[in-house]
Every structure is written in structure tokens, then in C-alpha cells.
Amino acid sequence: MQLVAIDIGGTHARFAIASIGDDGEIALGEPVTLQTKDHASFQTAWEAFTASQGGNVPAACAIAVAGPVGGEVIRFTNNPWIIRPALIPEKLGVDHFTLVNDFGAVGHAVARAAETDYLALSGPDQALPASGTLTIVGPGTGLGVAHVWRDGAGCYRVQATEGGHIDFAPLDSIEDAILARLRQRYRRVSVERVVAGPAIVDIYETLAMMEGKAIQLSDDKAIWTAGNSGDDSLAAAAIDRFCMSLGSVAGDLALAQGASGVVIAGGLGLRIRDTLLASGFAQRFRAKGRFESLMAALPVKLITHPQPGLFGAAAAFAQEHHP
């Protein structure tokens, strides 16, 4: 069976023709990426994609959206589009569709991805367990958190959560300073304020303040670029601190969810893969006092699949319509 897999965020809408084989295997065609600002609505973006395919696309689709998928109207935080699920068959000309939260789609991708789509970050370099709970943490514009439960016989269930909004717990004087800076603006500081992409600005500015240095960079993209390239030592230190804090948060979530394995997802994680490997991420992940040996035994992986949102949307469709 063929369908259109779609992954819609604030800036981009990605489309690809996906196929589900008789054995349940999922294959993705070449993705087409559209800028949401260039299209007045989801329907006009769909029409542009359809035109790019010669006007002929499958009569089924799976849509991953960056936001809640319940209710009569789906609204996006960072673009003006809306989706009315009841009108999808009529507006898109499809017979079957699936709607899934974008990080829920990542959960489906984690459950179905091949072992070659993972890079080991901590713990034993072995396949993720086929049974039990996998904790998924995805730093991006925000911090996505989900978990996947697998029964060992090929069945799985995905649970998206709001785990990115648990409290931030500093472990040393530098993180005390980061927390103090953030608390000047927020009464309650969640982990998303420290381990999401935009948070690198506050980390960088805190380190600059501690060293008595002038702030040279004020844009998060500039800090990530300068730090990853090694052109700015303070930006590089901020990124290393980010990785350490991400390790702490991932470890906390693994403990809370009773994980048998952990997956770091999201485009940001993939972009800093080499930095993650060289940073204090793994040490912080394991640093859980009496449970350090337990944490050291958990496989922690980075998913490297190039399009987990599209792949996961197709997997969600397969689970719903072809269980």
C-alpha cells in the first residue's frame, strides 16, 4: 500500500510517498520540503506537493503535526495554518488518514527503525531491547519526551508526554548560576529552558558573566555555529554544558519511566552528534548515586534516521490501518 507521509512544523512541511509492504516494512520516497510561509494553508501546500508528483498521489495520508491532535481544529504555534480533521478526506481527496503528534511520530520511528539507524552514546553498544520501555528525549525548539513500550513479539505502544516541563535540577555551581539567571524571568524553570535549542543563549550568557567577558553572540544559531566549529571557546563551552545537562535530564527521565533503553532524537541531537560523544553527556547520564551501575548498563542511542518524522508518521498509519 502507498500513502503520503507528512511532517508539519512551524517552518517546514515535509512530504514523501511512503509504501507499506506485505511484510509491514516501510519505505520512503524522496522527501519534498516546503516552507510554510510560502503557502497560505495546508491544503495549498498539499496541492503544491501533488503538482510536484505530476498530479497523482495515493488516496491515503499520515500527518505528523507539531502540537496536540485532539479536537475539531488543529492550530499551529509557529505558523498560521489550521487543520480540521473532519474535512481531511474532502479537502485532500483521501480515503484513509492518520493524525499523530510530531513527537509521537518519532516514537513510532524509534519502535520501527533498523539497528543501523542508531549511534551508541552510552552504555553497552548493543541493540535496543526488544521488550520493555524505551525513553525518548528530543531537544529542538522545545524538548520532546515520549516513551515506547514493546512486548518482545513485535507489538508496541507509543505514549507522548509533557516530560520537557519537569523541574530543572542543577548539579553544580555553574548550573546554579544558570538557574538563578533563568529564575529572574521565570517563576518556575523547567528542563526545556535549559536543554532545548534556544536555551544555548542563556547558558552562553551565564558563562560569559561568570568569566567577566563581554557577550559577543546573542543569537542561538550563531552560538551553535561558533561552538560547533570551534571558532569561539565560550560558545564551545556552552555547548558542552548543554550536553552535560541533556545527559542529566535523559537519565532522570529513564529512571522515572523505568526504561530498558534510551533514545536521543531530534534534528539538534543529530547535528551535534560528534560533540555529544566527546562531551560529559554519558557521565552525567550515569551520575545517579546509588543507581549508577543500573544507568551504566542501559544502552543509550542517538537515532540517525534522516526523516524520523515522515517514517514515524507512516508507521503510525500502518499500526492504525494495517495492524
Using the 3D structure, point to which of 56, 85, 100 is the last residue of a domain: 100
Last residue of a domain, one of 100, 125, 142: 100
Per residue in 75-106, pLDDT (tens digit) is 876 788 999 999 999 999 999 999 998 889 99
Quote the CA–CA distance of 143 and 191 in Å, as a whole number.
8
CA 180 from centre of chain:
27
Within-domain flag for 206: yes
- How many Å apart are CA 113 and CA 217, to the nearest integer? 38
For residue 72, what is the enclosing H or E element? none
Q: How confident is the prediction along the chain (323 residues), in pLDDT tens digits per residue? A: 999 999 998 889 999 999 999 888 999 999 999 999 999 999 999 999 999 999 999 999 999 998 888 889 998 767 889 999 999 999 999 999 999 988 899 999 999 999 999 999 999 999 999 999 999 999 988 898 999 999 999 899 999 888 999 999 999 999 999 999 999 999 999 999 999 999 999 999 999 999 999 898 889 999 999 999 988 999 999 999 999 999 999 999 999 999 999 999 988 888 899 999 999 999 999 999 999 999 999 999 999 999 999 999 999 999 999 76
Say how many domains are in the chain.
Answer: 2
Residue-number span of the structural domain to which 235 is assigned? 163-303
**58 and 182 housed in the same domain:** no
Exposed, middle or buried by CB within 10 Å (0-12, 13-18, 19+), for 243? buried
109 within a domain of the structure (yes/no): no
Residue 113 resides in a domain: no
**Which pLDDT belongs to residue 323?**
64
Q: What is the CATH number of the domain that holds 252?
A: 3.40.367.20
CATH number reported for the structural domain that contains residue 90 in this entry? 3.30.420.40
- Count Cβ neighbours within 10 Å for each residue of 117-137 and write b for 16 or more, e otherwise: bbbebbbeeeebeeeebbbbb
**Residue 84 shares a structural domain with residue 203:** no
Task: Read off the C-alpha cell for 251.
Answer: 537519565
Considering the domain architecture, whether residues 175 and 276 belong to the same structural domain is answered as yes
User: CA-CA distance, 235 to 240, in Å (whole number)?
Assistant: 9
Residue 174 lies in a domain: yes
> Is residue 125 assigned to a domain?
no
In a shared domain, residues 205 and 278: yes
pLDDT for residue 160: 86
Residue 9 main-chain phi, psi, to 5 deg: -115, -165
Instruction: State residue 101 phi and psi, 5-degree precision.
Output: -60, 145
Residue 169 shares a structural domain with residue 298: yes
Same domain, residue pair 168 and 96: no
For residue 185, the model assigns a pLDDT of 94
Cβ contact 16:29 at 8 Å: yes
Distance CA 312, CA 318 (A): 10
Residue 177 and residue 277 in one domain: yes
DSSP conformational letter for 304: -
Cell numbers found for residue 52:
510536484
Q: Which pLDDT belongs to residue 261?
A: 98
Q: Are residues 223 and 93 in the same domain?
A: no
Tell me: do 93 and 173 sit in the same domain. Answer: no
Q: Is residue 275 one of the residues assigned to a domain?
A: yes
Considering the domain architecture, whether residues 64 and 190 belong to the same structural domain is answered as: no
CA distance 109 to 104: 9
Query: Can you tell me the distance from the alpha carbon of 200 to that of 205, in angstroms, rounded to the nearest whole number?
Result: 8
Say whether pTM exceeds 0.85: yes
78 and 171 co-located in one domain: no
Q: Do residues 197 and 87 both lie within one domain?
A: no
Looking at the domain assignment, is residue 111 inside a domain?
no
Reference 301, options 117, 99, 147, 140; nearest CA is 117
Which of these three, 77, 100, 123, is where a domain ends?
A: 100
Tell whether 139 is covered by a domain: no
Give residues with Cβ within 8 angstroms of 225, minimum separation 6: none
